[in-house]
Amino acid sequence: VTGQDVSTMLRHGQRSIIFLINNGGYTIEVEIHDGPYNLIKNWDYAGFVDAIHNGEGNCWTVK
């Protein structure tokens, strides 16, 4: 699911539950050939929903 997909879900009033599991990058790539290009910056996923929800969506974070 892309950010545009989430925005479209909210715009059309689709009540979705998205479970996001962040594994910290491309695990298989690290195992095959590690390098600095595999260090992926983590997104602020809750902040992303706040930015696009226009007062209509909710986001919860659990660790």
2-61 per-position pLDDT tens digit: 878 888 887 888 888 888 787 777 777 777 887 787 777 888 877 777 777 667 667 777
d(CA 45, CA 18): 11
Task: Tell me, rounded to whole angstroms, the distance of Cα 56 from its chain centroid.
Answer: 18
Report pLDDT for 57. 66
Predicted TM-score of the model (pTM)? 0.50
Q: Is the Cα dihedral 50, 56, 57, 58 positive or negative?
A: positive
Give every CB contact of residue 53 below 8 A, 6+ residues apart in sequence.
Answer: 10, 59
- The pLDDT value given to residue 62: 76
pLDDT at 21: 80
pLDDT at 56: 66
**Is 2 exposed, middle or buried (CB count within 10 Å of its CB: 0-12, 13-18, 19+)?**
exposed
